[in-house]
Structure 1
Amino acid sequence: MTLKKVPELIYYPQITCIDLEEKGFKVKLNVVDTPGFGDFVNNRNCWVPVVDFIEGQYEQYLMQEMQPVRSGMVDLRVHVSLYFIRPNGHGLKALDVEAMKAVGRVSNLIPVISKADTLGPSALLEFKKKVMDAISVHNIRIYTPQIESEDEMTAMASKDIVAAYPFAIVGGTQDVIAGDGRVVKGRVYPWGIVEVESDKHSDFKKLRSLLIGGHMLDLINTTQEVHYDVYRTLQLKTRKIGEPKQKTVENKKFREDEERLREEFTKKVKVEEERFRKWEQRLITERDRLNEDLEKDHTLVKKLESEIENFQKNSPSYKYFKK
């Protein structure tokens, strides 16, 4: 039976342009989705396309800055990255930790718990604590809005937003009728209704306030002054002005050689392990045989000692000396 090598699966970010209007304020929002992220059997370095896309937008903006005429520059940089965490109840997985570390270095990362209605209130609070503890332990960089403000109401709102990290979100686009007769966006279950915009059921309003509310400008400024500036400084230090970014071309031959060597190494390890097990079994068998021979010799010695003692008792000299 021969096993065919499964071809490598690759996903690409997908961009959707949305026009929003919030309280008379119009916003053109570009949403970049990454379908298929983390769905493969081998998810090693699956976050690289995301990081490459974010840095690619930085590169396009940098190229525009290097032009003699910079009027009409188009800014398509990623100002915030929402990382959706599956509500498994156990905390962050190894993939989550590595992916969040990589994305958090190049953009404003915000952790979000998807399908939060699958957890009860107490389980959700415990899961939030586990996620934040893991973020702290692994030094994952996430975006945190400024809490200090001259406006007391703004400061209180910012504290509530920070206290809700990671945001527990319930999605729903259908109109449902609540118990008091209101028509709301939500989900209908046999035990009741989950409202998307209810603070008791979801952190959707807090996340929306963070993204397109009072902190939207801070997200843009953080991208400009922190993440983009780090990328721009590094690129200007390592290449000439006007020179395009050098792309690392992966040699497929090297990858094939690496896989071949890994397979050979694995086979050799298995052979050595099997040889060691056989050698260990031979040692155990030899030990048991020696113990059995030793026991026989010991029994024989005891028998000989008994015969000698009986012989001495029956001999004339023994009787003479005994009298």
Structure 2
Amino acid sequence: MTPITEVDGRRLTLSNLDKVLYPATGTTKGEVLHYYALTADPLLAHLHDRPLSFLRYPDGPDGQRFFTKNPPPGTPSWVRVAEVPRSSRESGEQVVVQDLPSLMWAANLVVEFHTPQWRVAEPARADRMVLDLDPGPPATVVECCEVALWLRERLAADGLEAYAKTSGSKGLHLLVPLEPTPSREVSAYAKALAVAAEAELAGLVVHRMTRALRPGKVFVDHSQNSAAKTTATPYTLRARPEPTVSAPVTWEEIEDCDSPERLMFRLGDMTERLERYGDLLESLFDPALAGTLP
């Protein structure tokens, strides 16, 4: 029997709650839904007014995965859907998760949440910049931390404040709050930063995606500032062997990171972290802290 529950007055059908989604840890779909209910407040703040892209993995990370921007079939009428540009010539509809019932409906589909750096009211005008630090083996998140600390200082020299989270995979994401700025300008600045990092940290950083250049180095991916690109949303679970989270982290944790496990957080870690720190990315929402590009 498929359970039906009520969330804030909305009736939801929740399916296959005992299904194991992460065989490495035995984590079930019911536990995944419980995680999203526990982290709903900060997650909803980061999803607010942003068009969603879904990476769906309904049979777990080892099963089929598919990435979609279109509202899934059967999307309830009470879930907000917005028309957003897909290119200079066309637009399309995307889900915008604004409340707990919509969040739990989406979580029941088993998804990673991905969002752009802009909001639906101002397409292609970014209110944050992202730098995705992706290590090429044998480099790990430890090397990403070294690069992140350099970038933090470089951004501060331009009057910009950086905040960090794990990717939930192997690397780190740096987020910078901005006054709304055309995405193309943010992209150009982010690329210049990546090029500067490669010049300054020779042998450690690469700014191009070419696979042959990346072993043992940190790829500073600036491309996700493009208006058409998205980044894993803070607090989303990832389709990895274990239920890892794209988790906000402190700069002290980055400074002290001497092994990859130090910055690997799973769904069971997040309640305690939220109780201890609150949302470490809350400053992204403070207009007084939004910077302007030099």
Which TM class, normalised by the smaller chain length? under 0.3
> Which structure has greater strand proportion?
2
Rg (Cα) greater in structure: 1
Q: TM-score, normalised by structure 1?
A: 0.22
Q: Which has the higher contact order (CA 8 A, sep 6+)?
A: 2
> Which structure has greater helix proportion?
1
